[in-house]
Structure 1
Amino acid sequence: PAAVERAFDVSVRDYRGKMGQLFYASPHQPAVPEHLHAEVSGLGRILSYTPHHLSRPDHIPLDVPDRGLGPDALLRTYNADELVRNGVTGKGITIVIFAFDGFRQSDLDKFTTMFGLPQFTPEVIGGSPGEPRGELSMDLQVAHAIAPDARKVVVNARPTVEGGGGYRKIGEMLEDTDRRFPGAVWSFSIGWGCDKLLTAADLSPVRSALRTAQEHGTTAFNASGDLAGMECRGGQDWSSPPSEQDVGLDSVASLPEMTSVGGTTLSTDPDGEWVSEQTWFDVPLSQGTGGGVSALFDLPPWQRLAAEAVPPERHSGKRMTPDIAAVADPFTGVKIVLDDQVVVGGGTSQAAPIWAGLTALMNQYLLDNGGSLIGEINPLLYRIAQGAPRPAYRDVTLGGNAVDNAGPGYDLVTGLGTPDVDNLLHNLQIAQKVQG
């Protein structure tokens, strides 16, 4: 620390966090010395603690299980049921879920028995992430409900937040996962800290690993967060009014290569046929879909037309999130089993594995019909939104979170909207043929 202080002319201090964690940090961001500008593009934060959290609502209601979607209704809601009836069940595709907590096999067994699905035991890489707290079990069940024949893999992400070097460790974890399971679909329902705490240099190992995996056919989905656009708000003090410093994104979810998934409140008919969706925002619980503008990354070329729907002073030429959305309201969510009880899942951490499961179906179909794995999906999603033979999204125009409002076209709470999978798949197939 003393050498770092001298080299960069900053102070390095010891801290104890509110949860008891001990770490060192500099209250000032070091600058690259002028004579090194040609060789050093940027510096990360001087920080030995990697902030992290589960993207999961604090409240999962036990009193509304009958309102939850079963697997058939979930598939019908997003127009993927005909695919499954024609034998597209995710066979040959791997879904990887990165987790901080564990799962109970008995919950998975009861879930599959209840809905007549094939039983499964996920493959766990790196040992159990920890005690079952509901998040991982929900992710696994939601993905299995959509793609029951896909291979399910759990990667223990807990070591990335033990000790320093967290973002380098995240990059190494992604590289190892890509080597083991090339072309898999990835789902993240965890967060690694507010983007305002970091620099782009901090995240460069993560971004590099993600790009390499996408070259091998991987598509990655990350929950946009459940704090209604205030992912930078620390602690549990919800009684004080929000400040500008509270507004922000989860750092890894904001990567241009990551597909950020926002959340909706869903309405269906009794059979699960889609009726409408609006932005998920539960004011009494201080929960809602995450989203907003990156503090770190410039607006990608494929988002420029979408940015025309957002006031220029709001996006300021920076990466916008989320990209797409799915149901996240715990009162309109998916039926799952936790601690041997049938409950209803929720949060954008439910929306991310929904998209992962649907992508597994689309990947299988494309491979079975002369196509290829989707890989990096963001440029394709936005290109399809600009004009395609079939309408691929249900535009969510009602509601908002604590920061932004929904509206026609792209918005900073539900992105491009929720999927009509049959139409989206048809458009993806055409795009792959055009690309050769």
Structure 2
Amino acid sequence: MPPLAAHLRGERMTLTLLLDLDDTLLDSNMDDFIPVYFHALGKAMAKHVSPEKMLKYLMVGTNAMIAHDSPDETLENLFNRNFYPNLGVERDVLNLEIAQFYDEIFPTLAYLTKPRPEAVDLVEWAFAQGYRVAVSTNPLFPQKAVYHRLRWAGLAPEKYPFEVISSFESFHFSKPNPAYMAEVLGRMGWSDGPVLVVGDDDELDMLAAQGLGLPMFWITDDDAVLPEGRAAVAGRGSIGDLRLWLESIDQKTLIPRYQAQSAIVATAKAIPAALKSILSALPADAWRDSPHPEEWSIVEIVSHLRDVEREVNLPRIQTFLAEENPFITADDTDVWAAERGYAEQDGETALRDFIAARMETLSALKNLTGEDWQRSGRHAIFGPINLEEQLGFMAEHDRVHLRQIYEIWRGITP
């Protein structure tokens, strides 16, 4: 692995806030909002398709997004495949109606919500502290709908520099999948500093956060009881309580713990999804940009990830499963960059090949039993090791290189 850039080695431990939207930043009871929203959408499309048919396949598409558990396609693509072909109307015709709905009719639903001024105060204070802030709303809505709801909350995306605002166009996972939170962090370059998830839902927000090993501030009443089996939350209270709580704690206690099996698998799923999003519009010549002559470019890092996935990660999993207490060699994969001419390879092809290789690894992870995770081996450097620990190293390797790619990307994109 090449040395990290100086700005990475000296990175300040800045808090990352992942803020839910509905009933966290915006008072919007979704049990009331969703029926009115669906009724309005059905009415807007009624001249092309019956509201009953539209609603049926809207739910089919939505349920497909909720169940999706792979980095192979965005939620938007998945929804479209399950929605449009079943309606019997040309997609271009429906798209015109849907675009008009979100531009003209959806904004009129603001009356179903109420802004929380204390949420605006919290966000403005967080930015003043230099915190990194994302809106980690469940990405089952199109971007236009999310942006409208942020404006209703008094947090217009045109005004506030949120690093990520999740929507179905570019996300691959949804809550409560821990891979969703991993994808948000991946899109932000996955800093190794403290992270706090802020949300109200004891299933969607809490399971996603705890499955990845992220601390959570639960937006709830004082008398709310944690569901059975949930881990303790880091803090609880109203959105207005959050600032004082953050000022009262040592933020080192908010350093995530990514060691659990669920966190390892979520990382493995989210890294290729995040890389696809970050690098989707990268100019061809930018793939070869490097912050320093001795440091790798993006194409070299992605090529490294591809070959490590093919020739190290997956074979090691197979070795653990096939042999009793196998010896695991310490491969020097850094030399491959020069030997294999990574700098001259095609970046988009390397990324596609990495994702294809990772899909094979994910298939292997999906089939692991509890006993498989604990299968033992002997590592040339680390000594006695089990498969779970080996996979933890794989996940950390992913995060390190994602940070490198993100820092290069941030330096060369507007």
Structure with greater Cα Rg: 2
Flag the structure with more relative contact order, 1 or 2, with Cα contacts below 8 A and sequence separation at least 6: 1
Tell me, yes or no, whether TM beats 0.5.
no
1 or 2, which has the higher strand percentage? 1
Alignment TM-score, normalising by the size of structure 1? 0.24
Q: Which has the higher helix share?
A: 2
